[in-house]
Amino acid sequence: DSGVTQTPKHLITATGQRVTLRCSPRSGDLSVYWYQQSLDQGLQFLIQYYNGEERAKGNILERFSAQQFPDLHSELNLSSLELGDSALYFCASSPGQSDETQYFGPGTRLLVL
């Protein structure tokens, strides 16, 4: 158990819908990272927040957005969902901005029908 929690574990929804994925980092960690992992694909970095502020952006679609709240938990919002958005979404956390190991949560498996 890495100490990073994510909810929900599974999510099934329809195309065009909007969902919110939630992540709580390890105690004391200020950075939260979001990744997408499609079937047989590598982990794709989406976005990083550090202490409430966006720090780095990866290949995140405009239909996706995220935020980090004062209690350091983070939410990833996915809207106008398409079939291709079906994937595992992982959250990771680390103590600082960049130079530490990232520890991953158990992931949310999203299925868009």
Partner 1 sequence: GQNIDQPTEMTATEGAIVQINCTYQTSGFNGLFWYQQHAGEAPTFLSYNVLDGLEEKGRFSSFLSRSKGYSYLLLKELQMKDSASYLCAVRDRGNTDKLIFGTGTRLQVFP
Q: How far is CA 78 from the centre of its chain?
A: 10
Residue numbers 51-70 binding partner 1 by CB under 8 A:
55-56, 58
The nearest distance, CB 90 to partner 1, in angstroms, is: 6
Nearer to partner 1 (CB atom), residue 28 or residue 70: 28
DSSP letter assigned to residue 72: S
* 44 scored as a contact of partner 1 (CB under 8 A): yes
Sign of CA dihedral 97, 68, 41, 105: positive
CA distance 97 to 106: 22
Enumerate binding residues for partner 1 (CB under 8 A): 2, 4, 33, 35, 40-45, 48, 55-56, 58, 88, 90, 97-99, 101-107, 109
